[in-house]
Amino acid sequence: MKDKFLFGLLLLCSTQLFSQSPIVNNFMFSNERIICLNSTISSIGAYVASGGNGTINYKWISSNIGASTGFAAAPGINNNQFYTPPSPFMDTVWYRRVVTSGTFVDTSNVCVVIVLSKFANIQQFSPSAGTPTWDLVTLHY
């Protein structure tokens, strides 16, 4: 009797493992947006995720520290396929989308919104020098 129970439990667990699939399509449309100080953007988007073993749930996270650290729940409504950041932008912010479905979790690539101040370092290419150089320029907007 004990052997039959263990075989049935093993069969049930094996069936559960093979009926699940990882989350796919959790990619941002764009990895980077460059805007001016005090500007707004309509939304940050990513593909519709699929897979997992349950309902797809989205959660947007953000960081004002960098692309790999300091992430926490993004402010505002952060549980949709798309995310509309609060406005206006005063500083550069990195965004990611965490998708969960049952026991599966997947974190998207990073999308950064780069905010240019009135004075910004812009990389310029000098054909005669053959290498990029950094110059301080004034942006007029």
Rounded to two decimals, the pTM is 0.69
Model pLDDT, residue 122: 54
In a domain? residue 94? yes
Q: CATH number for the domain including 117?
A: 2.60.40.10
Would the pLDDT of 96 be above 80? yes
Residues 6+ positions from 105 with CB-CB distance below 8 Å: 23, 98, 99
Domain of 133 in residue numbering reads as 20-138
Query: Which of 13-17, 45-49, 90-94 is predicted with the least confidence, judged by mean pLDDT?
Result: 13-17
In a domain? residue 26? yes
In a domain? residue 6? no
Mean pLDDT of the chain: 76
CA-CA distance, 120 to 141, in Å (whole number)? 13
- What is the number of structural domains in the chain? 1
Helix or strand (DSSP H, E) at 15 = helix 2-18
Q: Are 89 and 40 within 8 A, CB to CB?
A: yes
Model pLDDT, residue 135: 47
In a domain? residue 11? no
